[in-house]
Structure 1
Amino acid sequence: MQREGFIGGGAATRIRATGGVLLVAHLAFVAWLTLRPLDVPWVQPPNLRPFAGIRADAALGWEVAARQVAEGLALLAPLGFLLPMTHGRLSASPLGSLVRTVTAGALISLGVLFLQTGVPGRVPDIDSVLLNTTGVALAHALVVPACRAWLRRRYRRHEHLTLRQEEPSQGRTPTFPRVGIAP
């Protein structure tokens, strides 16, 4: 029996499997990018004050600040649509889905921050957690509702065409549930 609100059939399995593979690949890329040791002559102290790093980058010029903000937003942004894609729900609450996805993105970003404390040359920065989480939220808000609406329309159209093909000219034949042998 199909669970309520889930995509049905083989297409659903392919979408979820593709989402899972892309999610694992993206997380491996993020781990490789953020947890590699760096050879640097000196290391700055950790930034634990929100927006202090962004202000410092802005003092160096708007190009530097824009690049740092864009990199921070883009790093975990694919999680905004990959996490819901692996779940496969079409009729999820938009707010609930956003909250779950953003919470997962924030926890992953926080996990990366904690892991960076033990990596030589990497400096933990709270601004990266804020930017990564914002990137996840933006990607989810921009992509997921539109994709779910498109998939719902496609699924309903396919379901409607299937019913029309199976339906005899005199109406649908009633079906009765099977009854087992009484003891």
Structure 2
Amino acid sequence: MGGDTAIRFRVGGSVLLVAHLLIVGWLTLRPLDVMWVTASNFTPFAGIRADLGMGAVEAMRRIGEGLALLAPLGVLLPLAGGRLHVSPWLSFARTVAAGALISLAVELLQTGVPGQVVDIDSLLLNTAGVALAHLAVVPAVRAGLRRRQEKRAVSALLREEPSQGATPTIPRVGIAP
């Protein structure tokens, strides 16, 4: 990408990233006024199994919420990074690790909020949502941007001033008699 385009992508991605994190913070870290609070869940998949036991519709809603909460990070983190030519696996690993750490931070911050409890399944679902969003969007968008960049480079080469032609050669002059 050109210098200005890369900066615009990074700034736009960073602004959207901060806005999304503020919304996530507001949704997950505000106190809830409830009569009772369920116990914390430190057993992986126990909450998902309990949700599945409540019925398919309720389970899909809760699992979908868990997947969707941090899923935009799968796109916004690479966008804020602004790298076009990067290893797809490295980008995926870096994005999923950052998403997992952000989800862990949210879960740990919830321990001090009235009405909010720690749930390991939320951490797993949030991380899976980040991974799925990254895989669904980022490789295709990067490939499209790389193609667009290559087309611009080719068209810039074609727009260059045409050359003056071949360099003129001077015929050899023989030795005078």
Q: TM (normalized to structure 1)?
A: 0.88
Q: 1:72-102 deviations in whole A, cap 9, x for unaligned?
A: 0000000001000111111110100000000
Share of identical aligned residues, percent?
64
Mapping for residues 141-160 of structure 1, pairs under 5 Å: 141-160=135-154
- Structure whose alpha-carbon radius of gyration is higher: 2
Q: For 2:43, what is the secondary structure of its paired residue?
A: coil
2:96 corresponding residue in structure 1: 102
CA distance in structure 1 between the aligned counterparts of 2:67 and 2:135, rounded to whole angstroms: 14
Cα offset, 1:169, TM superposition: 2.5
Q: Decide which of 7, 16, 39 is 1:13's aligned counterpart.
A: 7
* One of 68, 71, 96 as aligned partner of 1:74: 68
How large is the Cα RMSD of the aligned pairs? 1.0
Tell me how far 1:168 sits from its aligned partner.
Answer: 2.6
2:129 to 117, 132, 135: 135
- Alignment of 1:37 with 2:31, yes or no, is yes
Question: Residue 178 of structure 1 corresponds to which residue in structure 2?
Answer: none
1:93 corresponds to:
87
TM-score, L = length of structure 2: 0.90
Q: CA deviation at 1:52?
A: 0.5
Looking at structure 2, the residues matched to 137 and 73 of structure 1 have their Cα atoms a distance apart, in angstroms, of 10
Q: 1:157, 1:150 → 2: CA distance?
A: 11
Any stretches of 5+ residues in structure 1 without a counterpart? 1-6, 172-183
Partner of 1:25: 19
The equivalent residue for 2:51 is 57
4+ aligned runs moved over 6 Å, structure 1: none
5+ residue gaps, structure 2, are 166-177
1:9 to partner: Cα distance: 2.7
How many angstroms apart in 1 are the aligned matches of 2:164 and 2:136? 46
CA distance in 1 between counterparts of 2:161 and 2:60 reads: 59
Deviation at 1:163, TM superposition (A): 1.6
Deviates more, 1:85-94 or 1:146-155: 85-94
**Matches of 1:31 and 1:50 in 2, distance apart?**
23
The number of residue pairs the alignment matches comes to: 165
Q: Which moved more, 1:146-155 or 1:7-16?
A: 7-16
